């Protein structure tokens, strides 16, 4: 591996950028056209999607930072080995059981939703990071030490880059679970959000609007995966083999 010399270029051809542009437009055009046909406020759908997306992004940032730091700690040394089974048990705890507690403390708003999402997203990232560190060959660690990688230098130049493949893989799984969680939380009462939109349509037995909302959500998630996560996953595989 050549740490420090990598440039994160996930789009290498102009055609990839063109495809990405159309993928970005896909959910936006679908929502604009279908909402006019169905008589739904386009701004309302955009607002609901934006609210859900905002919660996902904020929670993902905090969950990622915590997951990488804890993952590096748990992936190295005897102390990490002692705490790892405890974290393994904690990830098995159903996160939805904490949602009533968060809403009791913070109300049906963004804080409760974001805390709930952090608890949901963090585990796949954390354990993927731990796995990445465990897969490192011992000779690479020894080589880094010989070439003066110690303390903060070792952390930023050697250990942190090692987490990249596991981080991306865990992010894809974690964000998938995050979308499930936020839709469920919004259906239970946190609003605005796409889950609240779907719940309202279901309560009014409006199947076309419900199908429209589900399709819009699927297209939005697909666009995010296609634009960012899948190219990063491919790059992480190349990075690991280098």
The pLDDT assigned to 6 comes to 47
pLDDT of 217 higher than 90: no
pLDDT of 157 higher than 90: no
Is 21 a member of any domain? yes
Is 8 a member of any domain? no
77: left (phi over 0), alpha (psi -120 to 50) or beta: left
- The residue behind tokens 């609210």 is 51
The pLDDT assigned to 153 comes to 58
Query: What range does the domain containing 121 cover?
Result: 14-241
Cα angle 72, 74, 76 (rounded to 5 degrees) comes to: 70
Is 135 a member of any domain? yes
Is 210 or 239 the better-scoring residue by pLDDT? 210
Of 223, 222, 229, whose CA–CA distance to 169 is shortest?
A: 229
Q: Report residue 129 as tokens.
A: 């990071």
Helices (H), 39-147: 42-74, 77-91, 99-106, 110-134, 138-146
The pLDDT assigned to 29 comes to 76
As a whole number of Å, the end-to-end CA separation of the chain is: 5
45-60 residues labelled b (16+ CB within 10 A) or e (exposed) = bbebbebbbebbebbb
Q: What percentage of the chain has pLDDT greater than the value 70?
A: 74
The pLDDT assigned to 166 comes to 84
The pLDDT assigned to 146 comes to 60
- Return d(Cα 71, Cα 170) in angstroms, integer: 11
pLDDT tens digits, one per residue of 188-208? 888 788 888 888 888 888 888
- Return d(Cα 124, Cα 131) in angstroms, integer: 11
Is 3 a member of any domain? no
The pLDDT assigned to 156 comes to 56
Counting DSSP H helices and E strands in the chain, the numbers are: 12, 0
- The residue behind tokens 């897969």 is 135
Is 7 a member of any domain? no
Q: Report residue 169 as tokens.
A: 């893989």
Q: How confident is the model at residue 122 (pLDDT cuts 50, 70, 90)?
A: very high
Average pLDDT, the chain: 78
9: left (phi over 0), alpha (psi -120 to 50) or beta: beta
The pLDDT assigned to 10 comes to 53
Q: Report residue 121 as tokens.
A: 């997203």
Residue 10 dihedral angles phi and psi, to the nearest 5°: -95, -15
Is 178 a member of any domain? yes
Q: 163, 72 in Cβ contact below 8 A?
A: yes
Of 201, 212, 216, 189, whose CA–CA distance to 49 is shortest?
A: 216
Q: Report residue 136 as tokens.
A: 């490192």
CATH number of 193's domain: 1.10.3720.10
Residue 147 dihedral angles phi and psi, to the nearest 5°: -85, 15
Is 94 a member of any domain? yes
* Mean pLDDT, residues 125-140: 75
The pLDDT assigned to 61 comes to 95
Q: Give the chain's domain count.
A: 1
pLDDT of 98 higher than 80: yes
Is 5 a member of any domain? no
The pLDDT assigned to 73 comes to 82
């Amino acid at each position: 591996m050549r740490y420090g010399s990598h440039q994160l270029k996930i789009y290498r051809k102009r055609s990839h950028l063109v495809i990405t542009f159309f993928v970005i437009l896909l959910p936006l055009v679908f929502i604009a056209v279908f909402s006019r046909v169905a008589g739904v406020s386009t701004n309302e759908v955009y607002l609901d999607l934006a609210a859900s997306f905002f919660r996902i992004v904020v929670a993902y940032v905090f969950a990622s930072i915590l997951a990488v730091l804890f993952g590096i700690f748990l992936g190295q040394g005897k102390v990490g080995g002692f705490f790892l089974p405890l974290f393994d048990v904690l990830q098995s705890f159903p996160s939805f059981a904490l949602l009533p507690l968060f809403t009791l403390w913070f109300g049906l708003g963004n804080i409760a939703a974001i805390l709930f999402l952090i608890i949901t997203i963090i585990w796949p990232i954390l354990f993927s990071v731990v796995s990445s560190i465990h897969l490192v060959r011992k000779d690479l660690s020894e080589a880094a030490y010989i070439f003066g990688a110690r303390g903060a230098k070792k952390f930023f130049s050697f250990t942190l880059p090692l987490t990249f493949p596991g981080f991306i893989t865990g992010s894809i799984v974690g964000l998938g679970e995050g979308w499930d969680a936020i839709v469920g939380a919004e259906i239970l009462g946190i609003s605005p959000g796409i889950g609240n939109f779907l719940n309202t349509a279901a309560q009014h037995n409006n199947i076309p609007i419900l199908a429209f909302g589900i399709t819009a959500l699927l297209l939005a998630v697909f666009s995010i995966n296609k634009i960012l996560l899948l190219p990063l996953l491919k790059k992480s595989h190349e990075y690991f083999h280098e």
